[in-house]
A and B are shown apart, each in its own frame.
Chain A
Amino acid sequence: MGLYDTLGVGASGLAAQRARVEALTENIANSETTRTPQGGPYQRRRVVFESAPAAQSFGAVLSRARSRIDGRALEGVRVARLEFETAAPEMRFEPDHPDADKAGYVAYPGFNPIEDMVDLTASVRSYQANLAVIDAVRQMINATIDVTR
């Protein structure tokens, strides 16, 4: 039975969504940051997902090695890459600001943090859906064990 492997698929979804939430939180926290180690205002980060084989249980690896069937790998998800958005900075006239240029303008990040808030809600919803998978599969495993009692 592949129920234990299904838990791995759900767990990969949890990990990926958590990485997305982290990036979104960073974006929201830094939506007014004018100074970064790379220089210039903060650039919005965006997490891109891709399908990937989920971590499999020892039993699954063993049985495949033995029977040499099932070439179709289980697919979970993982973070493919972290993209940096290169939107034009928003120039605000603040001559007293330490990061102001000669004309008195400060470069602020040019993205709208509300978009990240919306994404955050969607991400939390996906996280909960993956939790629901793990819970449902856990119940199935428990019920199966219960049959032998």
Chain B
Amino acid sequence: MLGPQTHLVTRYLDLLSQSQRVTATNIANADTPGYRTRQLEFGAALRAALDNPAAKSATEQASVRELGTLPVKNDGNDVVLERELQQLSETGIRFSHALLMLKGGLKAVRDAIHEGR
């Protein structure tokens, strides 16, 4: 009833919350010796969902890899707090936009139910 778009938005929201989790891990470990910045394979996971919208992949974990491009500090840690904070707010904004889309889809259904009375 809600169509494949809603499924995609749901998958997108799920990936965003997983991405937020990775960012939270990076920030929590900003002072951990030897820790390297991690990143979610966001694009690949979203592409998989786009290619096969019917697949039951909505709850699957996307893979996480170490970024490996940032300068490493003396203690073997390469977390850049500013980068993580930017990721944090960017993901938050994307999340609220996606929620708006989801809300729009749900509202259409809800209106149809109410008008039918």
A residues sitting closer than 8 Å to B (CB atoms) are: 1-3, 5-6, 9-10, 12-13, 16-17, 20, 48-51, 54, 69-70, 72, 74-77, 122-123, 125-126, 129-130, 132-133, 136-137, 139-140, 143-144, 146-147
**Number of residues from B at the complex interface, CB < 8 A:** 32
Chain A, Cβ-Cβ closest to B63: A72
Chain B, Cβ-Cβ closest to A131: B27
CB atoms of B89 and A74 under 8 A apart: no
Q: Evaluate whether A139 and B35 lie within 8 angstroms (CB atoms) in the complex, with A9-B25, A10-B28, A129-B27 already known.
A: no
A-B contact pairs, 19 of them (CB 8 A): A2-B17, A2-B18, A9-B25, A9-B28, A49-B32, A75-B25, A75-B28, A76-B28, A77-B28, A126-B27, A129-B85, A130-B28, A132-B27, A133-B24, A133-B28, A140-B92, A144-B13, A146-B99, A147-B106
User: CA–CA, A51 to B66, complex, Å?
Assistant: 14
The smallest C-beta distance from B100 to any residue of chain A, in angstroms, reads 9
Chain A, Cβ-Cβ closest to B32: A49
B residues sitting closer than 8 Å to A (CB atoms) are: 13-14, 17-18, 20-21, 23-25, 27-33, 35, 61, 64, 81, 84-85, 88-89, 91-92, 95-96, 99, 102-103, 106
Chain B, Cβ-Cβ closest to A1: B17
User: CA–CA, A122 to B30, complex, Å?
Assistant: 10
The smallest C-beta distance from A148 to any residue of chain B, in angstroms, reads 8
CB atoms of A49 and B20 under 8 A apart: no
CB atoms of A12 and B28 under 8 A apart: yes
Identify whether the interface residues of A are mostly helix, strand, loop, or mixed: helix
CB atoms of B81 and A144 under 8 A apart: no
Which interface residue of A1, A74, A137 has the most chain B CB atoms within 10 A?
A137
CB atoms of B24 and A10 under 8 A apart: yes
- With beta carbons under 8 angstroms apart, the residue of B17, B23, B29, B106 that contacts A3 is B17
User: CA–CA, A69 to B95, complex, Å?
Assistant: 25
CB atoms of A137 and B20 under 8 A apart: yes
CB atoms of A72 and B81 under 8 A apart: no
Q: Apart from A16-B31, A50-B33, A147-B103, what 4 extra A-B contacts exist at CB < 8 Å?
A: A2-B18, A6-B21, A72-B64, A123-B31
